[in-house]
Chains A and B, each alone.
Chain A
Amino acid sequence: MSDHTDLLIVGAGPAGMAAAVTARRHGLSVRVVDDQPAPGGQIWRGIETVAATPRAKRLGESYLSGAERAAAFRACGAIYEPASQLWQIEPGFRAFVTRGGKARTVTAQAIILATGAQERPVPFPGWTLPGVLTVGAAQILLKTADSVPEKPVWIAGCGPLPLLYMTQLLAAGGRIAGFLDTTPRGRIGAALRHLPQGLGRLGDLIKGLSWSLALRRAGIPIIRHVTELRAEGEGRLQRLHYRTENGQEAEVSAEVLLVHEGVVPNIHAPLALGCAVSWHADQHCYVPLLDAWGETSQANIFVAGDGAGIGGAEAAEPRGRLAALRIAARLGRLDGATAETAAAPERSALSSALALRPLLDALYAPRPQLYAPPDETLVCRCEEVTAGELRARAVEGRPGPNQLKAFTRAGMGPCQGRQCGYTMAHIIAAAQGRSVEEVGFYRIRPPLKPVTLGELASLDEQEPAA
């Protein structure tokens, strides 16, 4: 069967590209399927076309470093299928992919899920109003289309991404109305306890501090320790209301609000495949249960990159290479000892890349208010279910997320709980006095991407039913 490869990689970001290059070096046939029209993932989005333009410089050096990765990936001999949506994987493995309106199946011996992270959903009153976006979405527009909002933007949230984006936006000539920093008071002290193990990554820390300094020098109003946020307006965002930890309240006019409260791994694919996950208490999210090579609880399914736990691009690459090495050994292209030898420098690169993570996790842990939105807040935007409805039902008979989904339809819409899953779990946990971990997560229904009836039907033409 011509559509068979040794290895199927899902995602052409840092982890997927690194895995493909390594697997090809050891003689595996490799297919890489990716949503995006070009390689790079989110971090290096649009790198091949942007690298030659003045925009590249404004986006920074770590962005530019993606160019050589994309070139190496292009040259490695993997079958690369951009603009392709993978929407189901069945045991064996048989994967279902849609490209150009046609669905088809491909098969592989092993799979690496390198599907990255998503921004942590931030439900607050008014978050679905036009004019409210995420920082990640705005940054993609900046990278791919050089799009700079016309009006001054408000930024709300915490973590490195808002700082980086604001720096990039200023360099691109954008204007910032103010930064509502949601990092709670006392976080720096807590975070600094993790400094000793992160000393090797001091450069990164200094880079982050330099972003902060640049913002202060630019005279951008920074409001610290924001706990509550409300977006208001008729038909679109017109005003913002915020409150800080010490009770300071204000209402300001606003046309664009960009929010960001960190990122969480994409776990829908591993969950749908029956891979075990565990609660990552420091990152406040589920991560797949992985061995030292990135293999899940299901044999020959690996997870690499931020999908394995948030570590950034520098951790993604060694994770991708480790998975590829293990698969090469499994398929007999590499003996175990050679794989171990090749893995040693990758493991050391991975641990170095992750050294600063405990500090960042402590500093930017989601504030407690994030998952306790007021009753009127829409939690499930697909089915328009509010926090109040969920709270009211969560106390009747201790239901879990899947029952509450049946009761309220929250999580039944096209996003399949990608937006409301964690909020739902936190609301149940709070209402029932349980831990989020104990409450659990939605069962994930296929398809992983919204394939159309016509596309699914096209599969019937291709493979007449037995």
Chain B
Amino acid sequence: MTEAAFDVIVVGGGLHGLSAALHLTRAGKRVALVERRWTGRHASGATAAGVRTLGRDIAEIPISLEAMAMWHRIETIVGDDCGFHAHGQLRVAEMPEHMPALIERQARATALGYSHEELIDAAELRRLVPALSPHCVGALVARRDGAADPHRTIAAFCRACEAERVVIAEGCGVEAVDRQGGDWLLVCGTRRFRAPYIVNAAGAWAGRLAALFGDAIALGVRASMMIVTERLAPLLDPVVSVVGRALSFKQAGQGTLVIGGGLQGSADLDRERSTVDFRQLARGARAASDLFPAVQGVRIARCWTGIEAETRDHIPVIGLSPNAPGLVHAFGFSGHGFQLVPVVGSILAELVCEGQTRREIAAFTPARLMQERAVA
């Protein structure tokens, strides 16, 4: 039995946990990160790694824009460019009747003072994505958006954490939590970790961890499916999504097509497994081949799902626990957390070090999901 004392223990070795650990240690804290399996095992290792401000929930826009600025200087943060390329993200209208949704969206963002989303016509769309089927009529574009390499990103955050002497304990799942004076004691098999502050970044399992601290938070689960194809010659640079269909379509640096968009498989939290549902996935393949007819003969190399927490309102939980002193939550990104990684770590560091943050996170308060406990 070993026991170690820290200032903060981050639970969960996904990208949000790693980012929190990195920012906390840079703020002068002694940090341990405990991860039941290994870093990047679940949602972070299964993400399409879209770096997207386009179409964000209004509540997310301020932190998403700040995260975007951080992505553009990610190398100065983690010492590696994470394979990030800002080729833009587009939300395409296939039919004239799809345009009003984009026009309204852009008007609403402009009214709030945001200018990152731009409406473009068919000619500009064709210029940006020549491979797109000619039937598409226009799009909303965020030109500074893009995509990164997920595994390279995980590796970069791990290396940065290690360089800052974060203790990363893999194969270390939290089994029990105990309050001892001003500290929390986390029991992980034969290992114990003690600290006054705990960051809950346990992803799909964050609701279970919260419950160990007495926080009952209503949380669902997603298992978004992805398709990766064999490599092919350069076809397009930006990431393309489309109004009214579940599709996100891009080409990775290796030349493979990465196709996702939120189509759901099934997840089993107890077995830590998720399963692809090909009848659903066929809709994604249909959308991909409708928008890019040239890819019909491209072979699929593999498909997978990742397990991720989903909140009722599809925006994350970020904030101090109203019940447990020193506990900070960051989870429930509902399938679009990758882009927020750099900024959320910084927010968590502020919450731990100062008990508050200058960022706008009121909408993400854990309390909003804790009232309907009896119903959930």
Contacts and interface: CB of A to CB of B under 8 A. Distances in A.
Given A88-B278, A406-B151, A453 B254 contact: no
Contact of A416 (B278, B296, B301): B301
The B contact surface, by secondary structure, is mixed
A168 B258 CA distance: 46
Contacts of A414: 230, 299, 301
A447 B302 CA distance: 6
A90 B40 contact: no
Interface stretch (B66-74, B100-108, B281-289, B314-322): B281-289
A447 B289 contact: no
A460 B282 contact: yes
Given A406-B45, A413-B301, A447-B302, A453 B285 contact: yes
B6 interface: no
A409 B295 contact: no
A414 B151 CA distance: 19
Interface in B259-299: 259, 273, 275-283, 285-286, 288-289, 295-299
Contacts of A465: 279-280, 282-283
Nearest to B302: A445
Contact of A457 (B285, B302, B304): B285
Interface string A163-194: 00000000000000000000000000000000
A461 B283 CA distance: 9
A456 B281 contact: yes
B58 interface: no
B325 to A, nearest CB: 34
Interface string B310-349: 0000000000000000000000000000000000000000
B121 interface: no
B278 A453 contact: no
A414 to B, nearest CB: 5
B218 interface: no
Contact of B303 (A399, A406, A447): A447
Given A397-B170, A457-B286, A451 B40 contact: no
Given A457-B285, A457-B286, A445 B155 contact: no
A127 B170 CA distance: 37
A403 B254 contact: no
A457 B38 contact: no
Contacts of B154: 406
A453 B288 contact: yes
B300 interface: yes
A460 B151 CA distance: 31
Contacts of A447: 278, 300, 302-303
* Chain B interface category by residue count: 35 or more
B286 A460 contact: yes
A456 B155 contact: no
A96 interface: yes
B212 to A, nearest CB: 27
Contact of A463 (B254, B279, B302): B279
Contacts of B297: 452-454
Nearest to B150: A406
A450 B289 contact: no
A424 to B, nearest CB: 16
A457 B303 contact: no
A385 interface: no
Nearest to B299: A450
Interface string A426-466: 00000000000000000001110011111011111101010
Contacts of B229: 453
Contacts of B304: 445
* Chain A interface category by residue count: 20 to 34
Interface in B227-252: 227-230
Instruction: Name the residue in A96, A453, A454, A456 with the highest tally of chain B Cβ atoms < 10 Å from its Cβ.
Output: A453
A109 interface: no
B299 A407 contact: no
A90 B277 CA distance: 8
Nearest to B295: A453
Nearest to B279: A463
A148 interface: no
A453 B38 CA distance: 32
A372 interface: no
A403 B154 CA distance: 11
A409 B301 CA distance: 13
A105 interface: yes
Contacts of A400: 38
Contacts of A459: 278-279, 282, 285
A453 B298 contact: yes
A195 interface: no
A412 B302 contact: yes
Contacts of A454: 285, 289, 295-297
Contact of B300 (A105, A413, A456, A463): A456
A461 B304 CA distance: 22
B300 A453 contact: yes
Contacts of A451: 299-300
Given A454-B296, A457-B296, A446 B286 contact: no
A452 B286 contact: no
Nearest to B40: A406
A151 B77 CA distance: 59
A456 B286 CA distance: 8
A100 to B, nearest CB: 14
Contacts of A397: 170
A399 B40 CA distance: 12
A457 B278 contact: no
Nearest to A274: B273
Given A450-B301, A457-B285, A463-B279, A409 B254 contact: yes
A272 to B, nearest CB: 10
Nearest to B292: A453
A456 B279 CA distance: 9
Interface in A372-405: 397, 399-400, 403
Given A406-B154, A414-B230, A450 B300 contact: yes
A395 to B, nearest CB: 15
Contact of B283 (A96, A412, A453, A460): A460
A96 B280 CA distance: 13
A416 B288 contact: no
A457 B288 contact: yes
A409 B149 CA distance: 12
A334 B227 CA distance: 43
Given A88-B278, A453-B288, A465-B283, A446 B303 contact: yes
Contacts of B227: 453, 456
Interface in B18-67: 38, 40, 45
Given A399-B38, A407-B155, A446-B278, 11 more contacts: A103-B282, A445-B302, A447-B300, A452-B300, A453-B298, A456-B227, A456-B281, A457-B296, A459-B279, A463-B279, A463-B282
25 contacts: A90-B277, A90-B278, A96-B278, A406-B154, A407-B155, A409-B254, A412-B301, A414-B301, A445-B304, A447-B300, A450-B230, A450-B300, A451-B300, A452-B298, A452-B300, A453-B285, A453-B296, A453-B299, A453-B300, A454-B289, A454-B296, A457-B286, A457-B289, A459-B282, A465-B279
Closest 8 pairs between A and B when the two form their complex, measured CB to CB: A454-B296, A445-B302, A459-B282, A450-B299, A456-B285, A460-B286, A460-B282, A457-B285
